[in-house]
Amino acid sequence: MTTEIQTETTEAQTTRGKVYVIDRGRTKLRAGQGLLTGLEVVFRHFRDALTRKLEKPSQQTGVFTVQYPEERLKLPEAFRNFPILLYDDETGQELCTSCFQCQRICPPQVIHMTQARDPATGKPVPAVAEFLIEYDACMSCGLCAEVCPFDAIKMDHEFEYSTDVHGGLTLNKEALNRPISYYEKIAPTFWAEVKDSAMKKLQGNMKRRPDLIGVAPQMVEKIRAQRAAAAAQAPSPTPATPEAAPADKAARLAAARARAAEKAAEATPEPAPDSAPIDKAARLAAIRAANAAKKAEGAADEVAAPATDSAPTDKAARLAAIRAANAAKKAAAEGAPAAGSADFASTPSDAAPAADAAPPASGMPADKAARLAAIRAADAAKKAAAEGAAPASDAAPPASGMPADKAARLAAIRAANAAKKAAAQRDGSEE
């Protein structure tokens, strides 16, 4: 109804305080007219609700119900529910450096983490070993995301977490991890703002992370496979690039570590029952060696220059391979007496490859020895693969005509992989 109502407000003082009298003038509504207007409005809503949906607020009528599980409102970018951790899509590296800022600021104290340590040196690494968030007590304040200097923790849009499992809302790192691409999808502008600095910081941190530490658990396999593939396709020697030097260094470092591990293995007098850690250490050393070699390769690859192995690299790689073989052998030798134990019984593949690699290569020329080691390692790897149902692609027979250094590297990698796989299996069975 179009009734012009002029309002006039006057003020008056009463015993019960000040009163504002609104003089609305004489209304033009006749008796019942207002009621009929009300009915008309309601009927309009009823009619429109039968035929259409409310598209925009200015429309005023129409069904505004969102039938939730089927239909969903588009959440605003700034919507926040629970925190998640980000990792890089390509490298699988987590952005988190375990700086403990979020843990400190969290008001309900639901964030817990442990810093990763370099197993060889025992020194802290800028990466997180385990990260726990209790979603059930989280109050979604978003302070953790705001305080994070590395943009590693962000607030998620996901809100359907209802569960009947007690403790099911305490999430570990693997459950918390999301690729950056996911966050970029839900909050494109927010990510665009911080992307460059975050990635830069990540690059810096990656250098200080040995091996696969700091790689998102769900990406470990993939990254390893990538690295293996990259190592396998490494091209023949070409002029060295400056980047090769650090790689070389890394390889040497790895070799040193392997040596240290070897020593540790030797030093440990304990036989059968305690052989596991030694064995593991040995294997770890082998892995490191292999990784170092690979890294050398990877680094060269990454630079995208026609990567090559300079002689020292080559040599280091071969050395690493030999050391790996030795370590494996030693492990096998020590593991053999303990073959009766449950651990070893469950993973015979562990001991077998090492035994195969037993014949020492001391008298041989380095090159030959390396090749021998490579072949043996490859055989071992194959066996391990066959027994451990590992991807068979790793175990391709080494080409005899291959350049020695390449073969050596390949062998080293294969040996390392086989050993690691066995270790993984063994770890699994230990748990």
Partner 1 sequence: MTDILRSWIGGALPDWLIVLIAYLLVTTIVLFYAVGNFIMMVWAERRVVARMQDRLGPNRVGPAGLLQPIADAVKMFTKEDIVPRNADRWVHLLAPIVALAPVAMMLAVIPWGRGWEPVDLNVALLYMVAVSAVSGVGLMMAGWGSNNKFALLGAMRAVAQLVSYEIPAVTALLTVVILAGGMSLLELPYMQAGVPIMGATILCGDPAGCSPLLYSTITSFPGSPNEPVQALDLGLGWWVFTPVGFLGFLVFFIAALAEGERTPFDIPEADSEIVAGYMTEYSGMKFATFYIAQYILNFALSALAATAFLGGWQGPGVAALANMGGPWVHVAAALSAFYLLAKIWILFFVMIWLRGAFPRLRVDQLMDFAWKLLLPLALVNIVSASLMVGLTQWTSAQWGGLISLDGFAPWQRQLIAVLVTAIINIAAAYWILAINQRPKQVEWDEEELIAAS
Partner 2 sequence: MGQYQSPCLVLCMNTLITVLFLIFAALILTSAIMTVTVKNIVHAALWLISSFFGVGALYLLMEAEFLGVAQVLIYVGAVSILILFAIMLTRDLEGSQNRQLTPRWWIALIVPAALFGLLIVPTVMTHAWQLPPPPPAGQPPAISGAQQIGTAFMREYFLPFQVAAILLTVAMIGAIVIAFEERERRRRVLTLVEQVRLRQRQQQRQQPAPRPEPAATAVQTSEATGGET
Which of 379, 385, 389 minimizes the C-alpha distance to 355? 379
Q: Is 389 exposed, middle or buried (0-12, 13-18, 19+ CB in 10 A)?
A: exposed
Closest distance to partner 1 from the beta carbon of 63 (Å) = 6
9 binds partner 2 (CB under 8 A): no
| The amino acid at 322 | I
Q: Rule CB under 8 A: say whether 389 interacts with partner 2.
A: no
Examine residue 1 and tell whether it contacts partner 2 (CB under 8 A): no
- Residue 35 binds partner 1, judged by CB under 8 A: yes
Residue 402 binding partner 1, by CB under 8 A = no
> Do the beta carbons of residue 21 and residue 9 sit within 8 Å?
yes
Contact call for residue 162 and partner 2 (CB under 8 A): no
Size of the site for partner 1 (CB under 8 A): 21
Burial degree of 332 (CB within 10 A; 0-12, 13-18, 19+) = buried
Q: Least distance in Å: CB of 30 to partner 1?
A: 8
- Please give the C-alpha separations between residue 42 and each of 3, 65, 126, 271, in angstroms, as whole numbers: 19, 17, 64, 87
Binding site partner of 13, from partner 1, partner 2, none, Cβ cut-off 5-8 A by kind: partner 2
Q: Is residue 63 near partner 1 by the rule CB under 8 A?
A: yes
Per CB under 8 A, which region of 54-62, 222-230, 263-271, 401-409 contacts partner 1?
54-62
Segment interacting with partner 2, rule: CB under 8 A, options 13-21, 98-106, 108-116, 129-137: 13-21
Which of 2, 4, 14, 51 is close enough to bind partner 2 by CB under 8 A? 14
- Using the rule CB under 8 A, give the single segment among 5-13, 179-187, 296-304, 310-318 that binds partner 2: 5-13
Residue 140 in the binding site for partner 1 (CB under 8 A): no
CB under 5 to 8 A by kind: which of partner 1, partner 2, none does 19 bind? Answer: partner 2
- How far is the C-alpha of 69 from the C-alpha of 342, rounded, in Å? 50
The answer to whether 145 and 183 are in contact (CB under 8 A) is no
**List 3, 65, 203, 238, residue binding partner 1 (CB under 8 A):** 65
Please identify, using beta-carbon distances, which residue of 15 and 400 lies nearer to partner 1.
Answer: 15
Least Å from the CB of residue 43 to partner 2: 17
Q: Does 267 bind partner 2 (CB under 8 A)?
A: no
Q: Can residue 18 be called a binding residue for partner 2 (CB under 8 A)?
A: no
Residues within window 30-69 making contact with partner 2, judged by CB under 8 A: 30-35
Select the residue interacting with partner 2 from 24, 44, 104, 200 (CB under 8 A).
24
67 binds partner 1 (CB under 8 A): yes
Residue for token pair 């690691």: 420
From edge to edge, which strands make up the β-sheet containing 170-171?
Answer: 111-117, 124-134, 170-171
Rank residues 26 and 166 by Cβ distance to partner 2 and give the closer one.
26
Binding site for partner 1 (CB under 8 A): 14-15, 31-32, 35, 38-39, 41-43, 45-46, 49-50, 54, 61-65, 67
Binding site for partner 2 (CB under 8 A): 8, 10, 12-16, 19, 21-27, 29-35
